[in-house]
Structure 1
Amino acid sequence: MDVGRVKWFSESQGYGFIEHIDGREVYFHYTAVVKNRYQPRLTDGVEVEFDLLTTTSGYEASNVRVFER
């Protein structure tokens, strides 16, 4: 799992970007967020963990969840 912070997320548009710990910008779609009723809402600055995919369009996150220490 990779770690980063939500840089920007729009519930109305259904997507956002994560700033990877190494500075890369990673796209994510709301369907990539793991559904858990106990998980806090994704807001700017929230630390998350995710699986990093490399696509023809760039980096994309899957299995996004709030990072718990």
Structure 2
Amino acid sequence: METGTVKWFNNAKGWGFISRFDGTDVFVHYSKIEGDGYRTLRQGDSVQFQCKDGPRGRFAEFVRVCERLSA
């Protein structure tokens, strides 16, 4: 598992990007966020995830929020 920071996440569209510690960004879709109920991320959240290669590039899966910034 890697750790990164949410760069931005669009709740209406259900996707965004996570900044990895090496400076690269990884696509994230709401369906890859672990948890029950409404799944979302906030800019600045610290997250753990696994990075996979897909047909359109790298994406995050098994995403878990480690530390959530207050709204």
For 2:61, the equivalent position in structure 1 comes to 62
- Distance in 2 of aligned mates of 1:34 and 1:60: 15
For 1:53, the equivalent position in structure 2 comes to 52
Tell me, yes or no, if structure 1 residue 29 matches structure 2 residue 29: yes
For these two proteins, the number of residue pairs brought into alignment is 66
For 1:10, the equivalent position in structure 2 comes to 10
CA-to-aligned-CA distance 1:25-68 (integer Å, 9 cap, x gap): 1001000000147x9x5210111000110123111000101126
For structure 1, the 5+ residue unaligned runs are: none
For structure 2, the 5+ residue unaligned runs are: none
Structure 1 residue matching 2:41: 3-state secondary structure: coil
Structure 2 residue matching 1:31: 3-state secondary structure: helix
Deviation >6 Å, runs of 4+:
none
Alignment TM-score, normalising by the size of structure 1: 0.84
- What is the Cα-based RMSD across aligned positions, in Å? 1.8
Percent of aligned pairs with the same residue?
38
